[in-house]
Every structure is written in C-alpha cells, then in structure tokens.
A and B are shown apart, each in its own frame.
Chain A
Amino acid sequence: MAAPSEPVHLLELDDRPDRRRPWFASLWRHRDVLGILARADFHARYKRATFGVLWAVAVPVLQSLVLAVVFSRVIRVGDARRFGAYVLAGVLAWSYFSLTVTAASTSIVDASTLTDKVWFPRALLPTVPCLANLPGLLVSIVCLVIALPFLRADIGPRLLLLVPALALLLAFTLALGLALAALDVYFRDVKFLVQAGLLMWFYVTPVAYSKDLLGALARYADFNPLTGVVALFQMAAVGRQAHWQRPVLVSVVTTVVVMAVALEFQRRHDRLFTDLL
C-alpha cells in the first residue's frame, strides 16, 4: 500500500494456511463486502413483508408478553409489570442471539454457490447475520426503553449498562457463529444440534424466571455463558441483581476463548472449506 495509485495485488498460495497478518488484513479489506452482504440479507428478509423490520420487534414482544403472563402466574413475582420489563429485556437479547446463531451456523454451507468462484475470508459469512439482525435488535432496545416507564421501571443512568451488554452480546454471538459455521462444513449435523441446543438453552438461561428461583442450581447457571449476557440487559432494564459478577466474568472469558479458537480455525481452513461444499 506504499504506492496508493497502484496497489499490487499478490496472491501466493501453498499447502499452508494464510499467515495471520495478511489474513486479518484481508478481513479488514473486505469490510465493504461485509456491509453490502449484510444489507442484502436485511433487505431480503424484510423487503416483501408489509411491516418490514417491525417484525424484528413484534416477535420478541409477543414472546415476552406470553412468557411474562404465564410465568407471573406460575411463579410468585412481586410486581407483574416490572417482571414484564425483566422478561422483555432478556428475551430481546435471547431472540437476537438465537436468530443470529441459527443463521450464522449454516452461513458458510448456505453460501456455497456464492463462494466457489470468488475468494474473500469465509469468516465474513457468519458475520453477515450478526450485522443484518442488528437493526432489529436496536429498534427493539429503543422500544424497551420507551416501554420502561409503563412497566414501572424508571429511566436512569443504569441504562448505560446497555452499551456493554450489547457489546458482549454481539461478541459472544459472533464468536459462536464463527465456530459453528466452520464446524458445519465438516459436520452437517451442526444444523440440527443448534436447533436442539437452542431449544434447551432457552430454558436453562434465566430469561423468563429469576436466577434465585433455581436455589442450589443457581451456581451452575452462572457457568452458562448466556446468563451473564442476559443479566446485563436485565440489570439495565430493572436494576441491580445480586451476584452478577461471576456470570458476567464467565461470559467474557468464554467469549474471548471461543472467539480466539474460532478465528484460528477459520484462518486455518479458509481456503479448504470450498473443497467440502
């Protein structure tokens, strides 16, 4: 890039994976591709629907409504409306997570026709749904904030917690998406494992109930990396929870580890994926 007018493109390949620095550089160089693919994905999803992106909000709101109504009867909650805010905050995060992971985990296999002609780092593909689903999540969060006063939760500086909450959610979702998408190329069972896994994961994560209800099991819930992510959203909505530090730490550490492993795997197998598609 020393001579800006005439950048020399040089492709050198042998039986070794791309080296780290050029690979990460190529990730960055292809950011435009990422942007346009994410936009294409977003448009393709909502273009033909009359209510468009509103569905991204409507679905978690309806889900939260049902969960809040049902669970507030089943378990004893102090204040049903506040409980509604708590559930809504968790469900927003959860629905972004489950929607994105589902799409990301099959993204490399699904894009096989797109990618057997032109090369760009395959790691971009699982990143696409993370970006494409982001507008929906942001709109949902705005709606949540607007709804808070009606759910007897005041608006205060703790809403700033939404920033790290969002960052952690995105990072964890992306890390998992990168890892699963790469695995899916080798084991097509991943698609079904993800379906089954998400179904169970929802119930073991304190989204529709509070962690205290688990009693002795609460300790184990802390080692669920989603507990910390969801907890940050819930604290932003309805205030401080006891013992939030450990689950958040678990989330952060898991995210870092999964991300590092997934990126390394992606790099090593980048130009080999297409052989198996």
Chain B
Amino acid sequence: MTDTAIRLEGVGKRYWKIDERAMLLRSLLPFARPQRTEFWALRDIDLSIGQGDVVGVIGRNGAGKTTLLRMLAGVTRPTAGRLRVRGRVAPLISVGVGFHREMSGRENVYVNGMLLGLSKREIDRRFDAIVDFAELEDFIDTPVKFYSSGMFMRLGFAAAVHTDPEVLLVDEVLAVGDVAFQVKCVERMKEIREAGTTIVLVSHNLQSVRILCPRAVVLRHGQVELDGPVEDAIARHHQILTEEAEAHHGVGEQHYVGGVVVEERELLGPEGPAHYVEANAPMRLRFKARFEREIDSPMFGFSIVATDGTVASRVFSPVSLVHRRFAAGQDVLVELRFTARLAGGTYRIAESMTTSDGLGLLYNSPAPVTFEVGTRHGTYGIADLDAVVSVDGVELRHERTPGLGVP
C-alpha cells in the first residue's frame, strides 16, 4: 500500500495566450509570428499519491485543476518537471468520452472501453454490468443521438467506472443524473475505492470531495496552496474565496454608502475561527463597525444564502432596542449569534446596515463570508430540522460519520 501510484516532481505547464487580433493579422501574413504571452497553468507542483489513496483537488476556476488531470491522463505533457503514473488510468472527465452520435449505445460502449484501454473480450465480460448500471436495457441498440442528456451521461459514467482501472481520474461527474443515480454513483465510487483503486477527484462540489476523500490538495494560481486533511483544505479554500472576493471589491472604500466602515470581520465556530462547521453548531459573525458621521439608530441586517442563491435566512435587528445615537468616529463591536441549523452545503453570510427607516443603506457587505456545513446523512435541502424518524417508538438514527467513514 505504500507504493506510489502518482508522483509529480516540480511539474509546470506553460500555455501561450494568443492575441486574437494578431491571429487576424497572421491570416493575412502567413509567416508573421502572432503576439503571444506566456501563462503558467501549473507551476512547481510536487505531489505524491500512494496506491489506493483517494485525493481531492479543489480550487477556483482556472487554478489548474483540469490541466493537472489532463496531464495525469497523459493527454498533455509538462513543460517542466517530471511526472509518473503507475497503473492503468481511466479518466472520467466530463463523461461520454469519445461517444459517437450516429452509433448505438452498444457500439459506443465498445469504442469507449477500447479508448480506455480494454480489449474487446474484457468489454464483453463487463457489458451486461455496464448496461445494467446505466439502466439502459431497452435503449442499448438505439443511436446515442436519440438519448436524453441524462441517459447519455449515465452510459458514459457506467462505461468508465466499469473499466476496473488502477488509477481513476474524476472531474465533476458526480453531478450526473437524478438523485437516485447520484447515490448509485457514490456507492460505485465507494466500491472502486475499496478495491484499492487510486482516485483523484476534481470537483467544485465540496460535499463530494469531503465524502470521498480523506486528503485534498488546494490549488491556487497553478500552485499547491495546501496539501492535507480534507477539512483543512476546504477551510483554506473558503478563506481564499473570501479573501479574493474582498480584494476584488476593495472592502471599506467605495462600497459603503452612508458612512459606516466594517473591519476585522470574522466568522467563529464553536472552537474559534471556522469556515467549516458541523450542522447545528453554534456560530458567530463578529465585526467592528466604525461610524464616520453621526448616525441615529441604525438597523443591522444579515443574510445567509445557499450557493444556488436561495436565502436560507434573513435577520434584522429590532430598531427600538438599538435606539442609540452613534457619534462620528465611534467604534462598536457587532456580533450575530446563530445556530447553523442548515443542511450540508456551502453558504455565504453577508452583513448590512440601514438607517432606522430601512430606506438608506449605510453599509452593504461587498464580500460575503463563505462557510461550509457538514452533511448529516439523510438530510438534504437547506434547513436541518433535527428530524428523527422513529418506527414503533424506535428511533432510526444515521451513523454519525458521514459518507465513507474511515479516512
């Protein structure tokens, strides 16, 4: 188990960005060199992944995640450094690799399998399992161009996960199909993992990374920002998101309308600063507000929003209780205490301040703080109602450890 399946030493990948206007010029002057600027998608990556390890890769768009996977799949070679992958690799990068629209599902399973390195006989052996998994018995001889996108993706996923690879590269595929199929995919990934397959999972879906990977790598601007336990990685990722949102909006400068500056904002979990908490954990958002002019009875507002934009909760302070006049230059410490009665997922929390009539916006947070709530098995949606099912008085509780358990 200590054998290294994947090793990267000082790996870098340089791309050339070509100016489109220069391309136009080049089409007129066939041998003029186009204007190009270099850009490193990956730089100085050192990474070692043992056989049977399951590692998540997270980072913002353009952080180099996909380039890393493509390199591990052997599609592109590094500009610097060395890379070694031991074992048969199956890339599961946006499913449906090499599917030919005119051909039937059956023929496509064979094309796909051969592209992934199986012989015809090996595919024969797996064929029924693939069709069964994809739930496409009745359509397997239909050209795939008549498939719905769900059917198409199911077939792609089924074909790829049945190749019994030694190294499986997964890019954002767990969002395939309906919930029932997603559950099946996670189950299948679990089986593959238990069979000792090395898995590298790239995803924006932090929940699936958290469920499947004990270890994760955070990429930022093509470099490894952190390589460690998944909880740390997710926390660091959220920190980066928050930092970059603040840097982008220039907090405290042009965005306050009515004369309040917010400083030293922090989100606290039960054990101090936290970007990751378990469901139902006590939390606090705390910041210092400084009044730049005299303000009478401001109202404080907070909103907690899920990634899809759904408002989980919006909270306002009652006006009468803060009936207070704040002098110019005065500092106050504002704290919102709440219980994260939220279902597992990523949320943003933002603060705002208005005048007592609610019409004048004194301050609106330009950069919400992002945080992650751990999934409790069996609970989906936005709210965690602490629900328990009981049958004949016997409570059926999920095991505490979510997902796959043993790290």
Answer whether residue B84 sits at the interface, using C-beta atoms and an 8 A cutoff.
yes
CB-CB < 8 A to A120: which residues of B?
Answer: 115
Is the CB–CB distance between A40 and B78 below 8 Å? no
Residue among A37, A43, A275 facing the most chain B CB atoms (10 A cut-off): A275
Q: How many residues of A contact B (CB 8 A)?
A: 31
Give Cα distance in the complex from A8 to B86, angstroms.
7
Residue among B77, B78, B84 facing the most chain A CB atoms (10 A cut-off): B77
Segment from B92-100, B174-182, B203-211, B302-310 that makes contact with A: B92-100
CB-CB < 8 A to A14: which residues of B?
Answer: 77-78, 81-83
**Contacts A8-B86, A13-B78, A15-B79 known; A118 to B102 CB distance under 8 Å?**
no
Give Cα distance in the complex from A17 to B74, angstroms.
12
Is the CB–CB distance between A119 and B81 below 8 Å? no
Segment from A86-94, A109-117, A199-207, A214-222 that makes contact with B: A109-117
Is the CB–CB distance between A43 and B74 below 8 Å? no
CB-CB < 8 A to A8: which residues of B?
Answer: 86-87
Is the CB–CB distance between B84 and A44 below 8 Å? no
CB-CB < 8 A to B89: which residues of A?
Answer: 9, 11
Give Cα distance in the complex from A11 to B166, angstroms.
13
Give Cα distance in the complex from A37 to B103, angstroms.
11
Is the CB–CB distance between B86 and A119 below 8 Å? no
Least distance between A54 CB and chain B CB atoms (Å)? 19
**Which residue of chain A is the closest to B101 with respect to CB atoms?**
A44
CB-CB < 8 A to A119: which residues of B?
Answer: 73-75
Q: Which of B280-312 contact A (CB under 8 A)?
A: none
Is the CB–CB distance between A40 and B88 below 8 Å? no
CB-CB < 8 A to B27: which residues of A?
Answer: 189
Residue among A11, A48, A189 facing the most chain B CB atoms (10 A cut-off): A11
Answer whether residue A167 sits at the interface, using C-beta atoms and an 8 A cutoff.
no
Is the CB–CB distance between A117 and B87 below 8 Å? no
Q: State which of A15, A43, A116 has its C-beta within 8 Å of the C-beta of B70.
A: A116
Answer whether residue B48 sits at the interface, using C-beta atoms and an 8 A cutoff.
no
Q: State which of B15, B91, B100, B166 has its C-beta within 8 Å of the C-beta of A44.
A: B100
List 29 A-B pairs, Cβ < 8 Å.
A8-B86, A9-B86, A9-B87, A9-B117, A11-B74, A11-B83, A12-B82, A12-B84, A13-B74, A13-B78, A13-B83, A14-B78, A15-B79, A15-B81, A33-B114, A37-B111, A43-B103, A44-B102, A44-B103, A48-B102, A114-B97, A114-B98, A117-B70, A118-B91, A118-B97, A118-B115, A271-B74, A272-B77, A275-B15
A residues touching B (Cβ–Cβ < 8 Å)? 8-15, 17, 32-33, 36-37, 40, 43-44, 47-48, 114-120, 187, 189, 271-272, 274-275
